[in-house]
């Protein structure tokens, strides 16, 4: 019975460490990226305009965590610099992005309607000029600004603020997930953005094992996770290339072992947890979908495959939206890798597409 947990015991010393939004105290295997970011920001510490950065890499490679770690240091040691992290999944319009900046600077959110963008922009710029503050805006998941065709307006407004208000200093850290689809800026933005590109490659197998081992040591009690089980979790994580899968797998495997009242996680606990953990990225993407996107995704999930024309007819009946908007939503679902939408060469000017899900339909419907 010594191997069995009693009802009031747990394997978790600190379960917070297995939450996907947890920021680790020791951020491993990203020293080069942190140094490159600090180099770009350094001019701001003397009151100058920082260099812009473009952090690019696959999901789950530490881009957001790196920016948060840098911003924590700025908050502690550089009161003249104001860092603002904007989640573009949630704030995907120019007005929404600048509302987040306004909230950080002024201390309260502007009204969601009835106030022009120009008024918010002027308030922000005036505040920065009068208080001699340097603003650094990190656009997390900037892909979503591309999907909504807002990216050039957002960047141009931030980068040109000093022309309207001399003395304003603004830097941008763009965090872009590499989805294999090229993201192109307007030439007028490209000519002033000129970012330092900081690559976040996928973690190697050894790096993944080191990070997961460190998280397990801090989060579980001693003896809960042996090397064989850690290797299996590392294999699954390495195959998918997303560290978040491994962290979620540690958590779910631990809960499975607790359910069995076992003091140790077994390989079987890992295997039964993997079905859900491998879909961490799917859950993350689907949290951000708007109502029209959900309607379109459900229509795709209801058919094994559809032509874009058939799909539009059903979508139009449900939403009354025009084809242009349907086409934008279809491209977005394709870009975030929820669907495949391949051109067939048929139809009007060869633009007909066959649309299929990239995931099991039941998994999609459950999350809808």
Q: Are residues 99 and 216 in the same domain?
A: no
Average pLDDT over residues 320-337: 89
Which are the contacts of 97, defined by CB distance < 8 A and separation ≥ 6?
86, 88, 91, 137, 139, 145, 150, 154
> Quick one: which H or E segment has residue 134?
strand 134-140
Is 171 within 8 Å of 41 (Cβ atoms)?
yes
Statement to judge: residues 138 and 55 lie in one domain = yes
User: Which is nearest to 243 in space by CA: 286, 276, 281?
Assistant: 281
Tell me how crowded residue 64 is: count the other CB atoms within 10 A of its CB.
Answer: 21
- As a whole number, mean pLDDT of residues 254-283 equals 94
pLDDT for 347: 52
Q: Which pLDDT does position 331 carry in this prediction?
A: 87
pLDDT at 318 over 90: yes
pTM of the entire predicted model: 0.88
Per-residue pLDDT, 285: 83
Name 4's Cβ contacts closer than 8 Å, sequence gap at least 6: 261, 262, 263
If asked whether residues 187 and 214 sit together in one domain, one would say no
What are the backbone angles phi and psi of residue 340, rounded to the nearest 5°?
-105, 135
Question: Residue 112: its pLDDT value, please?
Answer: 80
Mark which of 178, 200, 222 sits at the end of a domain.
Answer: 200
pLDDT band at 344 (very low <50, low <70, confident <90, very high): low
Give the integer Cα–Cα distance in Å for 267 and 226. Answer: 10
Cα(144)–Cα(140) distance, integer angstroms: 9
Q: Are residues 188 and 60 in the same domain?
A: yes
User: How far apart, in whole angstroms, are the C-alpha atoms of residue 219 and residue 211?
Assistant: 12
In this prediction, residue 1 has a pLDDT band, given cuts at 50, 70 and 90, of very low
Same domain, 196 and 215: no
Q: What is the pLDDT of residues 72-107, one digit of tens each?
A: 999 999 999 999 999 999 999 999 999 999 999 999
In whole angstroms, give the CA distance from residue 331 to residue 230: 39
- pLDDT attached to residue 7: 80
CB 306 within 8 A of CB 289: no
Query: How large is the average pLDDT for residues 119-133?
Result: 96
In whole angstroms, how large is the CA radius of gyration of the chain? 23
- Contact status, residue 360 vs residue 354, Cβ threshold 8 Å: no
- Mark whether 306 and 256 lie in a shared domain: no
Average pLDDT, the chain: 92
Q: Do 165 and 225 fall within a single domain? A: no
Single residue among 221, 249, 283 that ends a domain in this structure: 283
Structural domain harbouring 266: 203-283
Q: Are residues 135 and 277 in the same domain?
A: no
pLDDT, residue 30, reads: 97
Cβ–Cβ under 8 Å, residues 288 and 330: no
**Residue 42 half-sphere exposure toward CB, CA atoms < 13 A:** 7
If one counts the domains in the chain, the total is 3
CA 183, distance to chain mean position in Å, is 16
CATH (domain of 76): 3.40.50.300
| DSSP class of 3 | T
165 and 92 share one domain: yes
Question: Which of 283, 303, 331 represents a domain boundary (last residue)?
Answer: 283
Mean pLDDT of the region 292-318: 92
How far apart, in Å, are the Cα atoms of 45 and each of 18, 52, 68, 126, 171? 34, 14, 17, 20, 12
pLDDT tens digits for range 9-44 = 999 999 999 999 999 999 999 999 999 999 999 999
Task: Assess if residue 1 is contained within a domain.
Answer: no
Do 190 and 305 belong together in one domain? Answer: no
Do 61 and 180 lie in one domain? The reply is: yes
Side-by-side strand order, sheet with 53-57: 81-87, 134-140, 169-177, 53-57, 196-200
Please report the pLDDT score of residue 178 as a whole number. 82
Which stretches within 89-150 are classed as H helix?
Answer: 94-106, 117-131, 143-147
């Amino acid at each position: 019975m010594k191997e069995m947990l009693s009802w009031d015991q747990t394997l978790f010393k600190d379960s917070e460490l297995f939450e996907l939004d947890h920021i680790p105290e020791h951020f491993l295997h990203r020293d080069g990226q942190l140094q490159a970011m600090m180099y770009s920001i350094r001019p701001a510490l003397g009151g100058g305009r920082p260099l812009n950065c473009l952090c690019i890499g696959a999901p789950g490679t530490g881009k957001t965590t790196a920016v948060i770690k840098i911003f924590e240091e700025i908050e502690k040691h550089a009161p003249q610099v104001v860092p603002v992290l904007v989640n573009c999944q949630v704030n995907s319009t120019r007005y929404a992005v600048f509302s987040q900046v306004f909230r950080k600077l002024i201390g309260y959110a502007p009204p969601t309607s009835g106030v022009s963008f120009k008024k918010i922009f002027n308030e922000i710029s005036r505040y920065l000029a009068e208080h001699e503050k340097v603003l650094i805006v990190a656009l997390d998941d900037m892909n979503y600004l591309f999907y909504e065709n807002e990216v050039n307006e957002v960047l141009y407004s931030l980068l040109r603020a000093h022309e309207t208000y001399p003395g304003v200093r603004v830097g941008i850290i763009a965090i872009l997930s590499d989805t294999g689809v090229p993201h192109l800026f307007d030439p007028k933005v490209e000519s002033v953005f000129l970012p330092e590109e900081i690559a976040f490659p996928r973690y190697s197998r050894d790096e993944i094992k080191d990070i997961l081992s460190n998280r397990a040591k801090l989060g579980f009690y001693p003896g809960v996770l042996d090397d064989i089980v850690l290797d299996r979790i590392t294999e699954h994580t390495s195959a998918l290339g997303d560290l978040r899968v491994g962290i979620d797998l540690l958590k779910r495997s631990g809960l499975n072992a607790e359910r069995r009242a076992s003091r140790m996680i077994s390989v079987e606990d890992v295997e039964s947890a993997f079905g859900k953990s491998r879909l961490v990225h799917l859950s993350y993407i689907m949290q951000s979908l708007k109502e029209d996107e959900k309607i379109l995704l459900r229509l795709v999930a209801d058919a094994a495959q559809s032509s874009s024309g058939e799909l539009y007819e059903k979508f139009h009946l449900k939403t009354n939206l025009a084809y242009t908007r349907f086409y934008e939503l279809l491209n977005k679902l394709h870009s975030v890798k929820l669907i495949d939408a391949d051109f067939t060469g048929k139809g009007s000017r060869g633009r007909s597409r066959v649309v299929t899900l990239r995931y099991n339909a039941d998994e999609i419907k459950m999350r809808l």
